Structure 1
Amino acid sequence: MKQLMRFAAVGVLNTAVGYAVIFGCMYLLGLSAVVSNVLGFAVGLVISYVMNRRFTFRSVASAPREMLRFVLIFLLAYFCNLGVLLLLIKSVGMHEGIAQVPAGIVYFGISFILNKYYVFARVAADPTRQKA
């Protein structure tokens, strides 16, 4: 349970920093919304990886392999989020704002499970590691 709470805290932090970068790039640096968005998501993704590696899962495995897996899981979770969002809006007729909530829950769930059991699995399966 502590690991899940840490994962959620990292998500809040990287989201806040990502939005700060997006708005800073747009309103302080005068960059376009698209460029600002890409930069904000890139910064958020890096923060998410580093914090989840060190704080949430306490990994000591090979960083390059984990990083590749982390990005792949991010993309998979994002596209599942997008699929649920579109399904709820287009097929179910759910309000766009309300549909963001279950879509976000799907993203969070897939991301946590696959990060725990795939990206950082080697550490999670290590019996010498202290419990989180």
Structure 2
Amino acid sequence: MKAEYTADPIAGALAEPQNGLAAQGTKFLISGAISAVVDLSITFFFQTIIGFGAFGGRTVGFIFGTTTAYLINRRWTFRAAPSTKRFLQVVVLYTITFFINVGGHKILYSFFTEHHMAEAVAIVVAFVISQGVATVINFVVQRTLIF
């Protein structure tokens, strides 16, 4: 099967073949990694430097991380034009995954620190687990229902 190419509206050049599952999954992981760095950095800063609790620090990080993810995924991963309807659907999805992600982080962070894991390690491990669960949910819902 011959790959189709489309003009990339962002770069104005020829883009890679149409977004199949593998291409979108790869792009989603890359944008997720970038967003996770933003998210974890802010979460870590607010919990360790500013003194926010697990829920507060993770909330601030989540807001910045998910905003970064939405912007990258809409334009690059799914190549979707701006849409109020899609934006509102993503807001609802991110609200749901907020409670899964941030709630999971708080529960896991408490569990790990109560079992004598170092605070810095507990933040990172709790983040990775809760973010991983939320990422899978986000990809499946965005790919099948939103974009």
How far residue 112 of structure 1 moved from its aligned partner, in angstroms, is 1.6
Is 1:19 the counterpart of 2:40? The answer is yes
> Higher RCO, 1 or 2 (CA under 8 Å, sep at least 6)?
1
Identity %: 25
Q: Check 1:6–1:80 CA distance in 2 against 1; reply closer, same or farther (3 A cut).
A: same
Higher helix fraction: Structure 1 or Structure 2? 1
Distance in structure 2 (CA, Å) of the matches to 1:78 and 1:71: 10
Query: 1:87-125 CA deviation, whole Å, 9 max, x = no partner?
Result: xxxxxxxxxx8xx86x876644432222112111xxxxx
Is 1:118 aligned with 2:145? yes
Q: Which residue of 2 aligns with 1:68?
A: 88
Unaligned runs of 5+ in 1: 84-96, 121-132
Using the TM superposition, give the Cα deviation of residue 21 of structure 1 relative to its aligned residue in structure 2, in angstroms: 0.8
2:84 paired with 1:46: no
Aligned to 2:76: 55
**Displacement, 1:4?**
0.8
Q: Structure 2 CA distance, aligned partners of 1:27 and 1:104?
A: 19
How many residue pairs get aligned? The number is: 103
- Pair 1:6 & 2:33 matched: no
- Is contact 2:43-2:60 (8 Å) kept? yes
- Check 1:104–1:21 CA distance in 2 against 1; reply closer, same or farther (3 A cut): closer
CA distance in 2, matches of 1:58, 1:49: 12
Structure 1 104/38 Cα, relative in aligned 2: closer, same or farther at 3 Å? closer
**Aligned residues: CA RMSD:** 3.0
The CA distance in 2 between the partners of 1:10 and 1:117, in whole Å, is 18
> Counterparts of 1:60 and 1:69 in 2: how far apart (Å)?
14
